[in-house]
């Protein structure tokens, strides 16, 4: 039996585990760790692998599964909600990057096709790295997090047209390949296939499979759909990756998409590891060591170019300078899809070996630098905000002024709401109901215009800036509520607001308990941790189920909140005070019993059968003819067919069941 492939897999995963563990300790992205694994294990490193061709086959499967899951995760409805940021911001970032990179490559003597392809490679950023870092920093719902996500979504989608165009850039049509008209016809055919598959074929097929309740059958069906569509597109002269993406898109439009993703993700992650390791095996370490200065200079140039263009794309959307800088620095790296695209570049002769090695080295360098750049981005943005730049640049290219109705209102003793998301809207609604004057500050220009059309009192601006807070008359405001999802911006707003108005009462919503103390130190009066408020609400419902009196629950929760949640955090399992609250009702049971015809209880009242007095059982509700009644009167007369809800110990309830059974012993059917 041939075991060389198995030996290589064990070696690869063993090395990957060690390198990924070290990478995690130094906060290096796992993708970089996998690339390093390939570099060390590959032919330019220790050369410990013997089945390189087989590893590349596994890597191809990883590419197919990656595009498949991208297609499944793509929600057209979600894209439409942030359509302006996706299509306008994403298209500006991608197209301008392609144009700028192509011009630079042409200047250095590259052919037009190769120059455009280099632009393709540099236009894409790493969705995996950036989203993971934003999630760790709890910034995915912040303004810069949403814009970054929107641009990344556009990049994930645009990879498909890039794959289609790559053969044309390589001159495939001139060498017996398909003409643009044929490719267009095939594209139309594929679109029709996606629509037909998504609307009629796949949903019906998966419905029949799901009815079997066989998880293995469902998983195999998903995999067969993925590889069948991929093979079909490959047979038409297109790529496996494109077919996999279309297959994922077809399944995503069915109601079984989420279940399919859950089944595929573990396989995708394993095979994607092979892909990045196989890319690392192609990277020549000697090439990097021979010219490290050139690679570092080009990497810095790529980072600078992408930062400037991503900043331009964000500015076009109308966001202020601080958000623009943070977004631009999040998108500076070369993405994982660029590696996939580079394989096609080699296949169609768009990349020489030296260019490919240079691309790999620069890409790894930009990826490795990303965590440090994103961590430093808020401080870099703050430094730019302190520069004497024009107000229009700081506030955004499309500043929205206070409308006439807003400027005429004398804001005094009012409420300032920072952020008009779900929390901000709820606070505004409560303020309206209580006739409390308020004004909201929001950085999303589209939200401001939309809410203005509804006569909402809202202004556009970055609340970290003094000018914006002064504009809403913070000196005369009584309360400020911060409901934004940007931890760093929240701290700056508190500090600035407290300096401008020592008397204002600042209420802050935060995600995590560990953020409370720093916010209090900066000047917040009340901090509501979302993490613990959720726990408190759950705990209240648990106590109610254990029949703890309402006044005791309210007193206990008031003490928890008054103590800054410290009491709840340090609550001992052995706490005698709290244990005394629990009523010992674990031996009680609630049962439903039907009154049968000719039973002893039929036609009698509760008083006559003396359930509570004789048997220690209480009837707490009854149902007759579909109508339920609670706390029934003692004079209620029981009729055949009545459903009774009894409360008592299991033994007591068992003792009274004979009262409701027909006297001939045959239960009524």
Question: CB of 47 within 8 A of CB of 56?
Answer: no
pLDDT of residue 364: 85
Q: How many domains does the chain have?
A: 3
Q: Are residues 344 and 414 in the same domain?
A: no
% of the chain surpassing 70 pLDDT? 87
Q: Are residues 408 and 361 in the same domain?
A: no
Q: Are residues 282 and 312 in the same domain?
A: yes
The pair of structure tokens assigned to 531 is: 């993490």
| 543-579 pLDDT, tens digit each | 777 667 777 777 777 776 666 665 555 544 444 444 4
Q: Are residues 270 and 369 in the same domain?
A: yes
Last residue of a domain, one of 323, 348, 383: 383
Rounded distance between C-alpha atoms, residue 400 and residue 39, angstroms: 52
Q: Are residues 28 and 78 in the same domain?
A: yes
Span 442-454, average pLDDT: 86
Q: Are residues 435 and 316 in the same domain?
A: no
Last residue of a domain, one of 510, 535, 567: 510
Q: How confident is the model at residue 404 (pLDDT cuts 50, 70, 90)?
A: very low
pLDDT of residue 565: 61
Q: Are residues 203 and 233 in the same domain?
A: yes
Length of the chain, in residues: 669
Rounded distance between C-alpha atoms, residue 387 and residue 384, angstroms: 5
For residues 208 and 578, the model is more confident at 208
368: left (phi over 0), alpha (psi -120 to 50) or beta: alpha
Q: How confident is the model at residue 632 (pLDDT cuts 50, 70, 90)?
A: confident
- What's the distance, CA 109 to chain centroid? 42
Q: Are residues 47 and 158 in the same domain?
A: yes
Rounded distance between C-alpha atoms, residue 321 and residue 337, angstroms: 29
pLDDT of residue 480: 96
Helices marked H in 283-390 — which ranges?
285-290, 292-316, 321-330, 336-347, 353-385
Rounded distance between C-alpha atoms, residue 89 and residue 148, angstroms: 9
The pTM of the whole model exceeds 0.75: no
Neighbours of 327 (CB within 10 A): 30
Residue 598 backbone phi and psi in degrees, to 5 = 65, 20
pLDDT of residue 574: 44
pLDDT of residue 499: 92
Residue 153 belongs to a domain: yes
Rounded distance between C-alpha atoms, residue 261 and residue 574, angstroms: 43
pLDDT of residue 586: 54
Residue 559 belongs to a domain: no
| 470-500 pLDDT, tens digit each | 888 999 999 999 988 888 889 999 999 999 9
250: nearest Cα among 224, 272, 276, 279: 224
Q: Are residues 379 and 407 in the same domain?
A: no
Strand partners, 460: 442
Unique residue bearing structure tokens 């017996």: 176
pLDDT of residue 397: 63
Question: CB of 45 within 8 A of CB of 39?
Answer: yes
| 176-206 pLDDT, tens digit each | 445 566 666 766 777 777 777 767 788 888 8
Domain range for 289? 4-172+187-383
- Does pLDDT of 88 surpass 70? yes
Rounded distance between C-alpha atoms, residue 281 and residue 36, angstroms: 8
Q: Are residues 479 and 617 in the same domain?
A: no
Residue 668 belongs to a domain: no
Question: CB of 419 within 8 A of CB of 483?
Answer: yes
Q: Are residues 474 and 604 in the same domain?
A: no
Of 29-38, 116-125, 165-174, 459-468, the least confident: 165-174
Residue 368 belongs to a domain: yes
């Amino acid at each position: 039996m041939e075991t060389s492939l198995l030996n290589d897999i064990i070696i690869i995963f063993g090395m990957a585990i060690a390198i990924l563990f070290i990478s995690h300790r130094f906060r290096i992205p796992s993708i970089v760790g996998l690339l390093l694994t390939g570099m060390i294990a590959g032919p330019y490193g220790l050369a410990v692998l013997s089945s390189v061709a087989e590893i590349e086959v596994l890597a191809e499967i990883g590419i197919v599964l990656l595009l498949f899951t991208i297609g499944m995760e793509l929600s057209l409805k979600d894209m439409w909600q942030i359509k302006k940021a996706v299509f306008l911001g994403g298209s500006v970032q991608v197209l301008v990057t392609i144009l700028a990179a192509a011009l630079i490559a042409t200047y250095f003597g590259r052919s037009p096709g190769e120059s455009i392809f280099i632009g393709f490679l540099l236009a894409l950023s790493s969705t995996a790295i950036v989203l993971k870092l934003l999630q760790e920093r709890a910034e995915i719902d912040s303004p810069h997090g949403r814009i970054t996500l929107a641009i990344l979504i556009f990049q994930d989608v645009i990879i498909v047209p890039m794959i289609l165009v790559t053969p044309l850039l390589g001159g495939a049509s001139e060498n017996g390949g398909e003409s643009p008209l044929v490719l267009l016809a095939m594209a139309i055919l594929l679109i029709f296939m996606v629509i037909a598959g998504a609307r009629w074929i796949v949903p019906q097929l998966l419905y029949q499979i799901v009815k079997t309740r066989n998880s293995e059958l469902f998983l195999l069906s998903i995999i067969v759909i993925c590889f069948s569509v991929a093979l079909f597109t490959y047979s038409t002269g297109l790529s496996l990756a494109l077919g996999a993406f279309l297959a994922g898109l077809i399944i995503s439009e069915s109601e079984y998409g989420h279940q399919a993703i859950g089944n595929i993700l573990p396989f995708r992650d394993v095979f994607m590891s092979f892909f990045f390791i196989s890319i690392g095996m192609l990277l020549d370490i000697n090439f990097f060591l021979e010219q490290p200065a050139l690679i570092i200079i080009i990497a810095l140039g790529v980072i600078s170019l992408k930062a400037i263009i991503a900043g331009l794309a964000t500015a076009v959307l109308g966001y202020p300078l601080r958000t623009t800088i943070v977004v631009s620095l999040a998108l500076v790296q070369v993405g994982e899809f660029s590696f996939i695209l580079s394989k096609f570049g080699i296949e169609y002769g768009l990349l020489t070996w030296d260019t490919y090695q240079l691309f790999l080295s620069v890409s790894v360098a930009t990826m490795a630098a990303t965590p440090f750049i994103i961590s430093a981005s808020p401080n870099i943005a703050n430094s730019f905000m302190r520069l004497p730049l024009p107000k229009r640049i700081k506030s955004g290219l499309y500043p929205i002024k206070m409308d006439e109705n807003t400027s005429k209102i004398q804001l005094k003793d009012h409420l300032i709401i920072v952020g008009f998301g779900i929390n901000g809207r709820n606070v505004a609604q409560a303020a309206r109901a209580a006739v409390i004057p308020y004004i909201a500050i929001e950085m999303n220009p589209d939200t401001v215009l939309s809410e203005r059309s509804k006569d909402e009192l809202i202004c556009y601006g970055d609340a970290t800036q003094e000018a914006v807070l002064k504009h809403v008359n913070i000196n005369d405001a009584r309360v400020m509520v911060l409901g934004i999802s940007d931890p760093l911006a929240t701290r700056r707003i508190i500090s600035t607001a407290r300096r401008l108005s020592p008397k204002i009462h600042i209420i802050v919503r935060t995600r995590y308990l560990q953020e409370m103390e720093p916010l209090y130190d900066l000047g917040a009066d009340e901090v509501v941790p979302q993490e613990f408020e959720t726990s408190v609400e759950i705990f209240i419902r648990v106590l109610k189920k254990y029949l703890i009196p309402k006044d005791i629950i309210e007193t206990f929760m008031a003490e928890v909140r008054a103590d800054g949640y410290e009491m709840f955090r340090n609550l001992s399992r052995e706490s005698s005070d709290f244990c005394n609250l629990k009523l010992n009702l674990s031996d009680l049971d609630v049962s439903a019993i039907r009154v049968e015809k000719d039973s002893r209880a039929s036609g009698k009242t509760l008083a006559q059968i003396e359930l509570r007095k004789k048997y220690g059982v209480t009837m707490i509700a009854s149902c007759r003819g579909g109508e339920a009644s609670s706390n029934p009167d003692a004079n209620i007369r029981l009729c055949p067919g009545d459903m009774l809800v009894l409360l008592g110990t299991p033994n007591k309830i068992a003792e009274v069941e004979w009262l409701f059974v027909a006297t001939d012993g045959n239960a009524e059917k």
